[in-house]
Amino acid sequence: MPLSGEAIRTMNYVDDISVTLRRILAVLPSLTEEERQRVAEHIKHADPSYDAVIAAVAGKK
């Protein structure tokens, strides 16, 4: 069954998120421990979280 344009666009958004996460992982070694902690806190408090989106996709929201 072919995917709708909206499903394909949504999958492209996921690809964009993956690229962003790879960029974050690439820069982490250059950060100090304090900077990494601040980035970690910022990620934890991001809304919506990655986990919230996964739950919504799985129909658990």
pLDDT reported for residue 39? 97
pLDDT reported for residue 18? 96
Rounded distance between C-alpha atoms, residue 10 and residue 59, angstroms: 16
Nearby residues of 61 by Cβ (< 8 Å), 6 or more positions away: 52, 55
pLDDT reported for residue 61? 57
pLDDT reported for residue 60? 76
Rounded distance between C-alpha atoms, residue 52 and residue 59, angstroms: 11
Q: What is the pLDDT along the chain (61 residues), one digit of tens a residue?
A: 899 999 999 999 999 999 999 999 999 999 999 999 999 999 999 999 989 999 999 997 5
Rounded distance between C-alpha atoms, residue 19 and residue 12, angstroms: 11
